[in-house]
Amino acid sequence: MTILLATNNAHKKRELAETFPDNTVLTPEDVGVAYEYDETGITFFENSYGKARGLWAFLHGETLPGVTASRVAPERQLANLTVIADDSGIVVPALGGPGVYSARYGRDAGVATDAERTLHLLSQLGGSTEREAYYVCCMVAVYGENRFAVVQEQWDGVVAEAPSDGKGGFGYDPVFFLAEFGCTAADISSEQKHAISHRGKAARAIARALNGIAPLDSSPKRA
């Protein structure tokens, strides 16, 4: 199966490619498309569906609100590809977030990088003993006009008191402590992470859903 991701996030592409080594995982850049989606949703589903639906519609000649897209390479046959997007984030109940705003957390305070966002999270949590946290991944696959599959998965952990020196993962992984491993998500191998993470579980669930769907003509139907 060839999967077209509605993102150019190299970390997400790598994780999905490692989760599905027998499949081809492409990004818009890989197929000569410049694509951006303005994530204004207040739920993980709104953002993931918007990204996937927006790219699928563009490949079929329609530009939806919130989408900025153009072809930057010679046109190629892409209309029959399934488009997959996910929206993910970390939720710390004691903070009431950051949730869907995880990638933009602390922006008003000048925070710009993953490492800075992680430190901002720790500063907001302070010395609180309520450090439970969980990652959420909502993944949507659009495979036809008004045809899509959606799954949402969760990965439980706690927020460590300081970032680890682990080099794996990305985002908030250096402070996402896993009791069963005695270390953070940044310290385990990619294989271990994919087996238990929110994105790994969501990707396998989406694959099962798509495998149960009969092939169909994905051309949009107009009234």
pLDDT in tens, 40-50: 999 999 999 99
User: What distance in Å separates the CA atoms of residue 73 and residue 61, rounded to the nearest whole number?
Assistant: 16
Compute the CA torsion angle 65, 89, 201, 80 (nearest 10 deg).
Answer: 20
Residue 43 DSSP class: S
- Give the model's pLDDT for residue 215: 52
Return the active site residues.
87
User: What distance in Å separates the CA atoms of residue 207 and residue 189, rounded to the nearest whole number?
Assistant: 22
CB neighbours of 49 closer than 8 A, spacing ≥ 6?
Answer: 85, 140, 142, 148, 150
Structure token pair of residue 161: 């008191």
pLDDT more than 90, % of the chain: 73
The full set of domain ranges for the chain reads 2-211
The predicted model gives 29-34 an average pLDDT of 92
Compute CA distances 77 → 31, 74, 95, 115, whole Å: 10, 10, 46, 39
pLDDT in tens, 83-104: 999 999 999 999 999 999 999 9
pLDDT(173) > 50: yes
For the domain made up of 2-211, the CATH class stated in words is: alpha beta
Predicted TM-score of the model (pTM): 0.88
pLDDT in tens, 159-172: 999 999 999 989 99
pLDDT in tens, 123-169: 999 999 999 999 999 999 999 999 999 999 999 999 999 999 999 98
